[in-house]
Amino acid sequence: MNARNLILGASLVLIAALAFFTLRDFAVNGVTAMGVVSLPIVVLLAVGVIGAMAQPPRRK
């Protein structure tokens, strides 16, 4: 396993935790302004990381 995969995996774990806590906040506190702002941020991070995982690393 190379460093690229480790970093991408760690970032996926972080994004999953952020998504979990955002959805948990919605369940506990209802829809709040902070939750509405955080949801697109989590989605943007997830799309970026998944897009990076789909691309093979550049050849030197």
In tens, the pLDDT along 10-34 reads: 999 999 999 999 999 999 999 999 9
- Residue 59 belongs to a domain: no
The answer to whether residue 60 is domain-embedded is no
Q: Residue 37 falls within a domain, yes or no? A: yes
The pLDDT tens digits for 36-48 are 999 999 999 999 9
Amino acid at the residue 10: A
Which range of residues forms the domain containing residue 40? 3-54
The predicted model scores a pTM of 0.81
Domain count, the chain: 1
CB 52 within 8 A of CB 8: yes
